């Protein structure tokens, strides 16, 4: 009975609700809707503190604010703060933005994957290291699926790694693949280490990057080319900054007069029709700075002034969606699609909202239209996979996720989603393989551990399932579902006393969880407590469990 009852724990999957960026002509200036940045400086480490990351981060914040960015600054972030800051940053990005992520501090690579190190890092071996740090692949996945016109990732995190608890923890950072519209900059070349420049106020790389950012008339490539040359000379060839770019088009951080005449990318650029409406501009600023209620008011005012302002409808729709007001978001997307029926971003946005309210039948036509127009739009394939899964068309969902994995193999959520569908299709072996890849890419992926455990239990492999549930609970100790499921596995391997403890905890966390009472009744029965078992069965029945 228990084996049949152990099912997937977390199957609510989030759609990518923004279309991927459109490419522009090679010599065309990029004109982002808004400039958004997260700047982090970690130096106060328990082991081997660094002198300059806090200075680097504050100086970078000041320059980016001067250039028109909305900037969040975080100094000396522990593991929780680092994760919260990055997740919040990703959720604030919107279609057409220019996003900058800057990090100064320790970083390392394990098995070719890069990690950022929080100040409370205590990893003593490879497994602990990946758990205690933040995987850069998780950052890039969210940025690349934000719909931003341009993503710039700057990592002054190649300082000598003092945390080598395993051979695989290499010095420096590994090279990274960059999706279209992404620019990655390292303080030094892959596998090498960079100078913290303890005699100066800033790290060597950041010192010269700040200088280049202040120079007018330099394109994005120019800024980093100048930085590379100066760092090379200052270090006498010991340090060579490295970049990888998939950017098509030109962007100026600080345009010269000539460049400014060509493009308006400096100082919070907006679409041309929005320049005349300060309410729209205010709404964009409020949305990117994390004030959705103020943003909604501003976009509503912009629409009142100009009912044909489709950018305001889109921004308001996305703000509604971020606030889980999906029907209101759908209404705004409808306004756009009445005028421009093939608007890719509105179709994906509306499709994602339909998925969020489990209306898969309506989501599917929107996503099909996007893929017909843009056969390489991976966001549409990802979301259509969700819709097919919701309609129990498992093979079609698997095919769509496989399409995404082919082009973006380092997105852990796609492996996780495909694992969910494989499980639903009864292919436990493939599901376990996909969950395994998801946790390799994202070591703190509690849902992937939990569902790999549930899948192993469903296949009768309870001994292998138990460590997965242990790890999931280490990551999420306050989950009643996880305690209940681990208790079921413990019962299945004839450890009722341990199972009873988990069911007690599940009921403490969720007093109305009927199935936990039913399972606890079985544990009490196995321990000879017939009175307690009868009481639990009665309570389970009251809560609708038969």
Tell me if 30 is assigned to some domain. no
Mean pLDDT, consecutive 10-residue stretches, the chain (546 aa), reads: 48 53 44 89 89 94 94 95 93 89 91 88 75 87 85 83 52 72 86 65 91 92 94 90 84 70 43 64 89 94 94 94 94 96 93 95 97 92 95 97 92 94 96 95 90 93 94 94 94 95 97 95 96 96 90
Question: Cα dihedral angle (403, 408, 409, 410), rounded to 10 degrees?
Answer: -150
**Parallel/antiparallel/unpaired status of strands 113-116 and 107-110:** antiparallel
Tell me if 127 is assigned to some domain. yes
Tell me if 232 is assigned to some domain. yes
User: Given 262, 282, 308, which residue is the final one in a domain?
Assistant: 262
Query: Which residues, 6 or more positions from 289, have their beta carbon under 8 angstroms from its beta carbon?
Result: 70, 92
Query: Where is 222: in which H helix or E strand?
Result: helix 220-234
Q: Are residues 156 and 276 in the same domain?
A: no
User: Given 227, 243, 262, which residue is the final one in a domain?
Assistant: 262
Q: Are residues 246 and 278 in the same domain?
A: no
Q: What phi-psi label fits residue 482: left (phi over 0), alpha (psi between -120 and 50 degrees) or beta?
A: alpha
Q: What is the pLDDT of residue 8?
A: 57
- Whole-angstrom Cα distance, residue 378 to residue 387? 14
Q: Are residues 229 and 290 in the same domain?
A: no
Q: What is the pLDDT of residue 191?
A: 64
Tell me if 78 is assigned to some domain. yes
> Tens of pLDDT along 170-207?
556 877 776 778 899 998 877 666 666 666 788 899 99
**Are the CB atoms for 119 and 46 separated by under 8 Å?**
yes
- Whole-angstrom Cα distance, residue 455 to residue 301? 51
CA separation, residue 105 to residues 147, 260, 269 (Å): 28, 34, 31
- CATH no. for residue 177? 3.40.50.1460
- Whole-angstrom Cα distance, residue 457 to residue 117? 34
- Whole-angstrom Cα distance, residue 76 to residue 544? 49
Report how many domains make up the chain: 2
Which 3-state string (H, E, C) describes 357-386? CCCHHHHHHHHHHHHHHCCCCHHHHHHHHH
Chain centre distance of CA 30: 24
**Are the CB atoms for 370 and 30 separated by under 8 Å?**
no
Q: What's the whole-model pTM score?
A: 0.82
User: Given 233, 262, 291, which residue is the final one in a domain?
Assistant: 262
Tell me if 424 is assigned to some domain. no
SS3 185: strand
DSSP 175: -
- Radius of gyration (Cα) for the chain, nearest Å? 25
Query: Where is 40: in which H helix or E strand?
Result: strand 35-41
Q: Are residues 187 and 331 in the same domain?
A: no
**Are the CB atoms for 533 and 521 separated by under 8 Å?**
yes
Give the bridge partners for 150, in sequence order.
98
- Whole-angstrom Cα distance, residue 81 to residue 67? 26
Q: Are residues 166 and 39 in the same domain?
A: yes
Beta strands in 136-226 (DSSP E): 150-156, 169-170, 182-186
Q: Are residues 54 and 172 in the same domain?
A: yes
DSSP 273: G
Domain region containing 332: 271-340
Which residue, among 254, 27, 25, 16, has the nearest Cα to 142 in the 3D structure? 16
Q: Are residues 242 and 299 in the same domain?
A: no
Q: What is the pLDDT of residue 272?
A: 44
Q: What is the pLDDT of residue 175?
A: 77
- Whole-angstrom Cα distance, residue 507 to residue 502? 9
- Whole-angstrom Cα distance, residue 90 to residue 71? 13
Give the bridge partners for 244, in sequence order.
184
> Tens of pLDDT along 500-545?
999 999 999 999 999 999 999 999 999 999 999 999 999 999 999 8
> Tens of pLDDT along 371-422?
999 998 888 999 999 999 999 999 999 999 999 999 889 889 999 999 999 9
Q: Are residues 96 and 216 in the same domain?
A: yes
- Whole-angstrom Cα distance, residue 92 to residue 101? 13
Which residue, among 436, 484, 424, 483, has the nearest Cα to 464 in the 3D structure? 436
Q: Are residues 222 and 336 in the same domain?
A: no
DSSP 264: -
CA separation, residue 132 to residues 8, 329, 380, 462 (Å): 26, 37, 33, 27
Residue 154 token pair: 């700057």
Q: How long, in residues, is the chain?
A: 546
- Whole-angstrom Cα distance, residue 211 to residue 218? 12
Q: Are residues 189 and 228 in the same domain?
A: yes
Tell me if 382 is assigned to some domain. no
Q: Are residues 251 and 301 in the same domain?
A: no
Q: Are residues 302 and 332 in the same domain?
A: yes
- Whole-angstrom Cα distance, residue 6 to residue 350? 34
Would you tell me how many other CB atoms lie within 10 Å of the CB of residue 25? 8
Would you tell me how many other CB atoms lie within 10 Å of the CB of residue 268? 18
Tell me if 243 is assigned to some domain. yes
- CATH no. for residue 287? 1.25.40.10
**Are the CB atoms for 475 and 468 separated by under 8 Å?**
no
Q: What is 312-334 written as a DSSP string? A: HHHHHHHHHHHTT-HHHHHHHHH
Tell me if 98 is assigned to some domain. yes
């Amino acid at each position: 009975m228990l084996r049949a009852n152990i099912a997937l724990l977390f199957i609510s999957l989030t759609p990518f609700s923004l279309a991927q960026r459109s490419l522009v002509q090679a010599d065309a200036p990029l004109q982002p809707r808004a400039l958004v940045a997260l700047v982090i400086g970690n130096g106060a480490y328990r082991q081997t503190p660094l002198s300059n990351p806090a200075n680097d981060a504050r100086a970078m914040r000041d320059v980016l604010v001067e250039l028109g960015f909305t900037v969040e600054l975080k100094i000396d972030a522990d593991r929780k703060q680092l994760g919260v800051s990055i997740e919040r940053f990703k959720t604030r990005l919107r279609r057409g933005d220019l996003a900058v992520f800057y990090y100064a501090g320790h970083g390392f690579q394990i098995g070719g994957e890069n990690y950022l190190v929080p100040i409370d890092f205590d990893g003593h071996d490879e497994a602990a290291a990946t758990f205690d740090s933040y995987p850069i692949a998780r950052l890039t996945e969210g940025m690349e699926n934000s719909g931003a016109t341009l993503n710039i990732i700057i990592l002054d995190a190649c300082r000598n790694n003092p945390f080598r608890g395993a051979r695989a923890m290499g010095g420096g950072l590994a090279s990274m693949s960059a999706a279209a519209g992404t620019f990655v900059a390292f303080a030094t070349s892959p596998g090498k280490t960079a100078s913290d420049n303890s005699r100066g106020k800033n790290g060597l790389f950041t010192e010269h990057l700040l200088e280049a950012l202040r120079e007018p008339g330099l394109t994005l490539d120019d800024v980093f080319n100048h930085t590379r040359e100066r760092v090379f000379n200052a270090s006498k060839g010991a340090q060579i900054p490295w970049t990888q770019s998939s950017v098509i088009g030109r962007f100026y951080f600080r345009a010269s007069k000539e460049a400014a005449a060509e493009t308006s990318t400096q100082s919070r650029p907006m679409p041309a029709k929005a320049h005349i409406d300060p309410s729209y501009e205010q709404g964009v600023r409020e949305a990117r700075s994390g004030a959705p209620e103020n943003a909604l008011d501003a976009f509503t005012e912009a629409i009142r002034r100009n009912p044909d302002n489709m950018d305001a409808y889109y921004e308001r729709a996305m703000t509604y969606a971020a606030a889980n007001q999906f029907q209101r978001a759908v209404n705004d997307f409808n306004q756009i699609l009445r005028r421009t029926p093939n608007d890719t971003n509105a179709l994906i946005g509306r499709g994602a909202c339909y998925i969020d309210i489990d209306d898969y039948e309506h989501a599917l036509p929107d996503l099909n239209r996007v893929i017909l127009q843009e056969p390489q739009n991976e966001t549409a394939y990802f979301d259509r996979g969700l819709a097919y899964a919701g309609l129990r068309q498992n093979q079609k969902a698997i095919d769509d996720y496989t399409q995404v994995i082919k082009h973006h193999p380092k997105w852990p959520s796609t492996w996780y989603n495909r694992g969910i569908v494989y499980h639903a299709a009864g292919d436990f072996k493939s599901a376990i393989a996909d969950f395994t890849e998801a946790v390799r890419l994202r070591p703190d992926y509690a849902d992937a551990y939990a569902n790999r455990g549930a899948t192993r239990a469903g296949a009768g492999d309870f001994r292998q399932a138990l460590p997965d549930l242990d790890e999931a609970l280490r990551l999420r100790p306050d989950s009643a579902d996880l305690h209940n499921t681990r208790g079921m596995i413990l019962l299945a391997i004839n450890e009722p006393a341990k199972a009873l403890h988990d069911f007690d905890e599940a009921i403490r966390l969720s007093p109305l969880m009927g199935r936990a009472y039913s399972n606890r009744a079985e544990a009490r029965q196995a321990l000879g407590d017939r009175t307690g078992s009868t009481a639990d069965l009665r309570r389970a029945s009251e809560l609708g469990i038969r």
